[in-house]
Amino acid sequence: MNTCDLHDAYGDLLEILPFGLTSYGGRKRFSGVVETVKCLEDNSRIKELSQTPGEGRVLVVDAGGSVRNAVMGDMIACGLNDNGWAGVVIWGAVRDVGELAALDLGVLALGHIPRPGKRRGDGQIGIDIRLGEARVSPGAFLVADEEGCIVFPPGTKPDDLAL
């Protein structure tokens, strides 16, 4: 099912990520259980997670909406792709957009900029975050396609629900 049909069926249950996210990855449709990161212009935690088994999960990053520094580029994205992550949603910026488009990885972000993120060891993994008005928790289930991005509550996904 696409996000429009899922919204029609489960609207009140869902969080809807705000408009403004652009698709940069080679995979335009993706879904999976959510892992979260909160950081600001520091990609240390994202790099750390990119080296772990993704098992089809989706990394959702609250980078504070900053587009001053990219918190993900081709090297981190390749790590996510190689380790089995389905996608990444970044409330911030990416870089290396040509390389991102060549990966079989879903990538949504607010924008892109050549300036890389910093590595100061800051950031938090596995906490509740907000992207605009949408609340996103670790263990939630995210579905993204060309229409948008929706999030089911933790422990729930479309297969668990009667359509």
What digits encode the pLDDT tens for the residues 90-109? 999 999 999 999 999 999 99
| pLDDT tens-digit map of 55-91 | 999 999 999 999 999 999 999 999 999 999 999 999 9
**Residue 79, helix vs strand vs coil:** helix
pLDDT for residue 134 is more than 60: yes
9 occurs within a structural domain? no
The count of structural domains within the chain is: 1
C-alpha angle with apex 83: 63 to 102, nearest 5 degrees? 75
41 in any annotated domain: yes
- Stretch 101-120: mean pLDDT: 96
**Would you give the DSSP letter of residue 49?**
H
Residue 67 forms part of a structural domain? yes
Is residue 4 a part of any domain in this protein? no
Instruction: Read off the pLDDT of each residue in 7-15 and give the average, rounded to a whole number.
Output: 93
Mean pLDDT, residues 28-32: 96
Segments forming the whole domain that contains residue 25: 16-145
**CATH number of the structural domain spanning residue 78:** 3.50.30.40
More confident residue, 133 or 159: 133
Residue 110 resides in a domain? yes
CA triplet 37, 38, 42: central angle to 5 degrees?
Answer: 100
| Residue 114 covered by a domain | yes
Query: pLDDT-derived band of residue 43, with 50, 70 and 90 as boundaries?
Result: very high
Distance CA 152, CA 33 (A): 9
Whole-structure pTM value: 0.95
